[in-house]
Amino acid sequence: MNTYEGNLVANNIKIGIVVARFNEFITSKLLSGALDNLKRENVNEEDIEVAWVPGAFEIPLIASKMAKSKKYDAIICLGAVIRGNTSHYDYVCSEVSKGIAQISLNSEIPVMFGVLTTDTIEQAIERAGTKAGNKGSECAQGAIEMVNLIRTLDA
């Protein structure tokens, strides 16, 4: 039996990051977590490109453009959607998650889902670097692992 698994060796990895500006007090922390992790794993700063979009709903379009450019080995999508008093939250979360998944499947590159979908601001803060870790950092680590797993499978 063969077993395949990614590793955290960041040789010649180019990363695109799409970050939503809406709820920037949260998304900037997710971005910092992702960048810190990528730098810690020795991804060169010049191999990381960041695109800011107005809100989470716009993330899939820019992630798709990045994927189609073939410049990136992985794309990290970061945002924060916090439930309000209307059904808007449900529509945004559903479409963003479907869009990101579809881009990954269509492009066959890892497109990491780092969009927080929380009921409260407190939950978002917890997932952006306090009690529940930093989901941006987790996505960066996952991106490196997935790039290496794909390279292994393609070899």
5 is in an annotated binding site: no
Contact 110, 146 (CB under 8 A): yes
C-alpha distances out from residue 47 to 1, 4, 99, 126, Å: 36, 26, 25, 29
* Residue 88 annotated to the active site: yes
Which amino acid is it at 118? T
Active-site residue, selected from the candidate residues 88, 90, 94, 122: 88
Terminal-residue alpha carbon distance, the chain: 17
19 is in an annotated binding site: no
22 is in an annotated binding site: yes
25 is in an annotated binding site: no
Pairing between β-strand 111-118 and β-strand 48-53 as defined by DSSP bridges: unpaired
C-alpha distances out from residue 55 to 8, 59, 154, Å: 30, 7, 35
155 is in an annotated binding site: no
CA separation for the pair 68, 92 (Å, rounded): 23
27 is in an annotated binding site: no
SS3 category, 75: strand
74 is in an annotated binding site: no
85 is in an annotated binding site: yes
Specify binding-site residues: 22, 56-58, 80-82, 85-86, 113, 127
Specify binding-site residues for 5-amino-6-(D-ribitylamino)uracil: 22, 56-58, 80-82, 113
Specify binding-site residues for (2S)-2-hydroxy-3-oxobutyl phosphate: 85-86, 127
Active site residues: 88
